[in-house]
């Protein structure tokens, strides 16, 4: 079963946008209930489907009517990834329209939930080898390989500033050295006393 994607309509009302999204979801659920896999037909964003528009001045490129199918089985998984991403974007757009809010592309792709600060580089490398970012893509892993330098502290502080609801967690040894590193992230140090107001971001309530 396929669902034709409507052309871009910048004048569509919020109610119409919600109705179109819900129609796509209902048709896809109906296909699943009937034992079929959902298939979306969308405009092909390829060079072969682009052409210069007729204009007296500059001729901007515009997409033509060629479409492509997105399914769970087409093109060895690549299409399945695009289909999953499409449904995720539709869900987010539906939530934003219902709430009367807007979001940038950056907001859509960087919906961070947590930041894990790792004391030891060996643990950090193990988490990377285990591809923790695939299991939890909304989580950032940070390490300074021990006592944090100024750049790492500023980076963590910027994350906390840009994402105020971000859960901050620290994975350190429960010994004097690990507590010292945790305290350095939270309070700063006497040597960096001038910069501490800009870098101390761990507070009570952070896990």
Q: Which residues are annotated as catalytic?
A: 110
Q: Which of 28, 47, 128 is nearest to 87 (CA)?
A: 28
Report the sign of the C-alpha dihedral through residues 200, 204, 205, 206, in that order.
positive
Structure tokens at 89: 């974007």
| 127 close to 118: Cβ distance less than 8 angstroms | yes
What is the rounded CA–CA span in Å between residue 116 and residue 142? 6
Strands 167-171 and 114-118 come out as parallel
């Amino acid at each position: 079963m396929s669902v034709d994607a409507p052309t871009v309509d910048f004048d569509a009302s919020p109610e119409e946008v919600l109705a179109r999204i819900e129609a796509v979801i209902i048709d896809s659920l109906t296909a699943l209930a009937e034992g079929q896999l959902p298939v979306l037909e969308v405009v092909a964003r390829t060079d072969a489907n682009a052409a210069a528009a007729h204009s007296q001045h500059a001729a901007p490129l515009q997409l033509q009517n060629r479409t492509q199918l997105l399914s769970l089985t087409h093109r060895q998984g690549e299409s399945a990834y695009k289909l999953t991403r499409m449904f995720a974007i539709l869900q987010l757009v539906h939530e934003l329209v219902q709430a009367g809010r807007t979001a940038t592309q950056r907001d859509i792709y960087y919906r961070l939930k947590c930041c894990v600060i790792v004391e030891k580089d060996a643990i950090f490398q193990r988490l990377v080898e285990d591809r923790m970012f695939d299991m939890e893509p909304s989580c950032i892993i940070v390490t300074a390989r021990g006592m944090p330098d100024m750049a790492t502290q500023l980076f963590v502080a910027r994350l906390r500033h840009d994402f105020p609801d971000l859960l901050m967690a620290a994975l350190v040894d429960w010994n004097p050295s690990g507590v010292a590193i945790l305290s350095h992230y939270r309070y700063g140090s006497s040597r960096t006393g001038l910069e501490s107001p800009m870098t101390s971001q761990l507070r009570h309530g952070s896990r």
